[in-house]
Amino acid sequence: MKEKIDNLTLKEKAALLVGHSTMATLPIKEKGVKSVHLSDGPNGVRKTKKTKNALNSISKTMPSTCFPVGVTLCSTWNLPLIEKMGQALAKECINYDVNVLLGPAINIQRNPLCGRNFEYLSEDPYLAGMMGANLVKGIQSLNVGACIKHYACNNNETYRFVGDSILDKRALHEIYLKPFEIAVREASPCCVMTAYNRVNGVFASENKYLLDDRLRRTWKFDGLVMTDWGGIVHRDEALNNGCDLEMPGMNDYNIKLIYDAVKEGKVSEDTLDKSVRRILKVREKTDIKEIKSCDFDENYRLALNIACEGAVLLKNDKSILPLQKDKKYLVVGGLFKSMRYQGSGSSLLNPAIIKDHISAFNDNAVDYEFILGYDENKNDIDENLENEAFKKAEKYDDIIIFAGLNDYVESEGFDRDNMSLPDNQLSLIEKLATDGKHIVIVLFTGSPVELPFYDKVDSILNMMLPGEAGGEATYKLLFGEVSPCGKLSQTWPYKYEDFPFFKEFTSSPNELYKESIFVGYRYYSSCKKEVRFPFGYGLSYNEFEYSNMTVNRIKKDIKVTFDLQNKGKVDGKEVVQLYVGKRESAVVRPALELKAFTKVELKAGEKKTVNLSLSEDYLKVFVGDDFALENGEYQLYVGSSSEDIRLLSSVFVKGDVLKQSKYDKVYLSFLHGNGVKEEDFEEIVGKKIVRYIRGQRPYTLETPIDEFDTFFGKIFKKFVYKVGAKQYKKAEKIKDPLEREREKKAGLFIMKLMPKNSLRSMSFSSSGKFSYSLACGVLDLVNGHFFSGIRKMFKKYKIKEEKKK
């Protein structure tokens, strides 16, 4: 490899580190350098078709298996099953000549309103890390690379391009970096993708602390680091701090910047060669010599299995579920007719096979009548639709209502306005849920929603976003062919106002993580605050009995053993969860934290002995500048959820004596119902919080486009809005309903995403269509400098390379 690198010119090396097309690196055939081909994931292979318009690549994709989304995958809590999915994804990558799949996405579900929660795995770093690691293992078992993303603290969509995630070191390491650390240490992913946002003032793509200090030096990661699309800011600083590849590239300006930086001594050629070597190494590791077709039918069956295991039964009063086949049912809701099975944005897939609700019910001879009740793409109440449904419901005792969110309120590219279901659905459910009726709600949502009708319905089955086999999975679960066994990977509060600092979420590009380590159940359990559904919760058609807990030590490992018995009449699976707490501690801690889990399959009446193990390393807390193990007794809780603890024991661990700090005093007060003062937060994070001023002039390359308010700024802003609107209107004319919905979602994604973009990110993500020269020219125009703006638009960035001796 050294000989190959030495044979490259400086210009060729620079060009290798800037993407050559939307989804590939530069090939240099005469030097034996092949492209590294990339594909979006993470729940399917989104191999884009060739298109002149880079924005069309969002929806113009080859057929692939649409597996359930990240939150549904994680709700299976089934590590071997997720590894199988990784292998299936790898086979489809090989089918399409893809070297690296861009996934999994393992960011923390910090706030229930984040529009991309559906794609992320969990609010818990251990669960997200372990599930992500197993997906990586599966993908890479067939010599296809996996790229974990988005490193790090990418926890909202509104300001993802320009925002600054401001947080203390303990929260950073124990919560937000931990899934990435686990994935790197457990699975050695081929690649890591940086986030768009800043972390404590420094963009992730050039953040020395994240990339060099933690990722490369502490975790010993030697793979490829790439930007998210358009996520580069200062190309030379990114290289020096460990970010190798800019995507999608096709950017003469940044190629020249690298070239000049090396010539001027700002970047050493040794640093450049290390990054080039990493790209060549990725291609070498993933060199697919023989392209084989994959089995989409087999992958459909796997997607079906995952959808069944990931669905969570939230309520089942009077054991209404499973339903009986000898009854006739009234089925209500636009989401029955138009199944929501995947998320929208860069993960939008073209499913190779799809089984919707109508075909699943019809194929299995379910006796039912359907009435629309509401339009799934709207929020407003349609009284005519409601009255038709109410009149029809008078003839039925058993009603199945399909409800949930749609891609117009939950998607990549923007955050939700509230935690509510659409008004038309809430109104309909309220009117149908009358005394004497048996009401079953089937939900489709990638994140928690408020359930004001909870006490008025009998059963709630949350399918989340179940993938291409969603219709068949829903049928099997409703009618008892499969017993539900999914568990929530995120807490469901009663209402959004139960979330700490709920008013501050996306109130400014400066996002203050004032809750620190108290995310999700760590907050609710520590404050003893009631929630609708706790973390790890999920019902079954069975009851499981836990007994005979024992604890043993083998060097640094703690071994927990207990018996588990299926007391039900049908076969089933139970997710057993091991939590750890420390009641007597010098430092403030959550009441309990997940440290081990497994999924156990049991036949009716069967009993098994379950073994769980955890390393002392997972008991450490981040103190000062490193992790430390505190001396003393730790409580071990075995349960069916974070609140349903069945067995309790303890273990003594020899460690360090820790001292209380200002952080501990502030957050002990926080747990007792007090806020976090800004001056205390500033002291803890070690920086002064500068208030963001919206529309501040002069505008910069980082100013969100929707803040442009000058004459030319308004013109440019209007043009940007029209880009997505044009695609959306064009999509409405498409005859095929599946293609129409896919194109509409792509148009909406662009429409919502672009105004929050910056000129810099828009340029660097445009695959050369909106050049850096144009971006600088537009910036001058919107700042009122007409003539200099015009001149800059035509500036060329060319390299005059010296001939290699």
User: Active-site residues: which are they?
Assistant: 228
Amino acid making up residue 803: K
Chain position carrying tokens 């390491």: 173
Tokens standing for residue 804: 């290699």
Q: Of all residues in the chain, what percent are helix, strand and coil, respectively (each to 5)?
A: 35, 20, 45
Query: How far, in Å, CA of 105 to CA of 122, rounded?
Result: 10
Tell me if 742 sits within 8 A of 59, measured CB to CB: yes
Amino acid making up residue 436: G
Contacts of 262 (CB under 8 A, 6+ apart): 10, 14, 268, 269, 272
Amino acid making up residue 242: G
- HEC assignment per residue over 422-483: CHHHHHHHHHHCCCCCEEEEEEECCCCCCCCCHHHCCEEEECCCCCCCHHHHHHHHHCCCCC
Instruction: Classify residue 779 by burial, with Cβ atoms within 10 Å: 0-12, 13-18, 19+.
Output: buried
Sheet with 572-581: strands ordered across: 593-602, 572-581, 632-639, 645-653
Please tell me whether the peptide bond between 150 and the residue prior to it is cis, using omega within 30 degrees of 0.
yes
Query: How far, in Å, CA of 204 to CA of 411, rounded?
Result: 23
How much is the CA Rg of the chain, to the nearest whole Å?
Answer: 27
The three-state secondary structure class of 761 is helix
Amino acid making up residue 559: K
Query: How far, in Å, CA of 127 to CA of 276, rounded?
Result: 34
Query: How far, in Å, CA of 275 to CA of 295, rounded?
Result: 36
Query: Measuring CA to CA, which residue among 214, 213, 105, 102 is closest to residue 150?
Result: 105
Query: How far, in Å, CA of 470 to CA of 356, rounded?
Result: 6
With residue 721 as reference, give the H or E element that holds it.
Answer: helix 711-731
| β-sheet bridge partners, residue 268 | none
The three-state secondary structure class of 67 is coil
List alpha helices for 557-696, DSSP H.
662-671, 678-685
Query: Measuring CA to CA, which residue among 683, 643, 765 is closest to residue 227?
Result: 765
Sheet with 329-332: strands ordered across: 312-316, 459-462, 438-444, 398-404, 329-332, 368-371
Give the number of other CB atoms < 10 A from CB of residue 669.
Answer: 15
Give the number of other CB atoms < 10 A from CB of residue 80.
Answer: 10
Query: How far, in Å, CA of 803 to CA of 218, rounded?
Result: 40
List alpha helices for 287-436, DSSP H.
296-310, 334-337, 357-363, 383-393, 423-432
Give the number of other CB atoms < 10 A from CB of residue 63.
Answer: 16
Query: How far, in Å, CA of 112 to CA of 501, rounded?
Result: 12
Query: How far, in Å, CA of 618 to CA of 130, rounded?
Result: 13
Give the number of other CB atoms < 10 A from CB of residue 187.
Answer: 23
Query: Measuring CA to CA, which residue among 217, 210, 188 is closest to residue 227?
Result: 210
Amino acid making up residue 479: F
Q: Phi and psi dihedrals of 439, rounded to 5?
A: -110, 125
Instruction: Classify residue 21 by burial, with Cβ atoms within 10 Å: 0-12, 13-18, 19+.
Output: buried
